[in-house]
Amino acid sequence: MKITRVATQLFFAAVIGVSFASCGETDAEKTPDVVITRFVFPELKAREGKLAKTQEWEKTKTKVTEIMAKLNRNDKDEKAILQLVQIYMQEARVTGEHPYYYPAILKILDYDLSFNKKSFEALTYKASVLMSQHRFQEAFETATKAKPLGRGNAYIYGVLTDANVELGKYEDAVKQCDSMQLLKPSLESYARASYLREIYGDYKGSIEAMKLAVEAGLPASEPYCWCRKTLGVLFENTGQWNDAENEYLNILAVRPDYAFAIEGLARVEKARGNYDKAIEHLNKAIEIMPEFSFHEELAEIMLLQGKKDEAMEKYNATTKMLEEDKASGHIVNLDIANVYCALGDYNKALDYVKMELEVRPQNIDVNGAAAWIYYKMGNKEKALEHIRIAKRTNSQQPLLNARAGIIEANAGGDVKKGKEYLNAAKKVNPQLVALLEGKEA
């Protein structure tokens, strides 16, 4: 994945109202009703808690009011429509209110595309939202449709990179990412190059690329903070816990209520064995954003503390959150499978992971999850089959190494290689291995 250096800035439910005309005629005189149909744009969802007290929120409300006034005058003003979409996409990321915003955005975009069928911007945003909903094949098809309309626009190559990654087409993802780099070196393209390098086991290169993404971002912006958070995770995955902590603290210095940075601090404290402090951080993050992974993290800490009953209760609550998210159109089968696996309900876990395998049979994360579920069910042959697909890119992600190590060593695989995988995982994150082995760290 090529890397070039240029500083840049990222950016990264509607209802049809029907009224009936009536002039007060008698039944005999009544003329056929005239149906007037007008698209009603979904409102900005009110923020709650600390996120409602920021200057950013006040600016957002003012801007949306201006846009809505324009759309009230002309509901086919595409410039205003796309501005509203951009704001709502950003709100979804900042607040975590995906079940509200993503369906609403898709309805707005479908409305726009009903009279602007070849709108590159609308198709590109639609593909982006479909990616966020984990509707990866639909996203790929929509982005492919948009590509020839973009005249070399770099953004669409980023969406195609993401879609190919999630579908397990990593070689195609690299090609799309390289094209994006050539068209526009930017925060978006550096971040994608970083992820691909991580997938191929090159953590040094991945960290280098993510540092470029951070440098290219606008300080305190959400995309900048997301990249800095991701850099922190890369440090975690290579056992550089102090560096990870510094990244999260740097984010909170400019954006104090960035929930994912607070969650990062929780993982750092968990790695140090400071479980009470980790739980304190996670509860603070949960107050800010309704993110299921925060609850999942709490359950893991409870297991490490030996509080199995409390952990199971938390996992059960997490499945309910995920099922609610799924009802909004968000495909969360892999997440649900992982939680059911943690609960020990391997039959349900397998049902959900099979849904993902049907759509993306070569994705390494899906195969890693499938391998672990089969291993826990005692199906060693299927466990080995899937873990080897999961390791085909040489990913060094600690969870994957831990699973691969245990499976290879205990399921009739390559014992020597299994020990290497397991030692690599233990070196970075011994608590993770302890969880998988059912022990306290």
3-state secondary structure of 344: coil
Return the amino acid letter for 9.
Q
Q: What's the CA gap between 132 and 166, in Å, rounded?
A: 11
The pairing of beta strand 35-40 with beta strand 15-20: antiparallel
Nearest-10 Cα torsion for 85, 89, 94, 97:
100
Separation in Å, CA 304 to CA 63, 95, 364: 46, 29, 27
Q: What is the CB-side half-sphere exposure of residue 277 using CA atoms within 13 A?
A: 10
307 within 8 A of 298, measured Cβ to Cβ: no
Q: What's the CA gap between 193 and 161, in Å, rounded?
A: 9
Q: What's the CA gap between 391 and 372, in Å, rounded?
A: 13
Nearest-10 Cα torsion for 392, 394, 395, 396:
140
Return the amino acid letter for 249.
L
430 within 8 A of 423, measured Cβ to Cβ: no
Return the amino acid letter for 161.
T
What pLDDT was estimated at residue 1?
A: 54
Task: Please name the residue ranges forming H helices in 147-274.
Answer: 154-166, 170-183, 187-199, 203-216, 222-237, 241-254, 259-271
What pLDDT was estimated at residue 151?
A: 86
Neighbour-count burial of 187, counting CB atoms closer than 10 A to its CB (0-12 exposed, 13-18 middle, 19+ buried): buried
Q: Show the low-confidence residues of the chain (pLDDT under 70).
A: 1-37, 439-441
What pLDDT was estimated at residue 432?
A: 86
Residues 98-150: tens digit of each pLDDT? 999 999 999 999 999 999 999 999 999 999 999 999 999 999 999 999 999 99
Q: Centre a 10 Å sphere on the Cβ of residue 20 and count the other Cβ atoms it contains.
A: 8
Q: What's the chain's average pLDDT?
A: 91
Give φ, ψ of 20 to 5 degrees. Answer: -120, 130
In degrees, rounded to 5, the angle at the alpha carbon of residue 24 between the alpha carbons of residues 20 and 30 is: 75
In degrees, rounded to 5, the angle at the alpha carbon of residue 251 between the alpha carbons of residues 4 and 132 is: 70
* Total-model pTM: 0.88
What pLDDT was estimated at residue 2?
A: 46
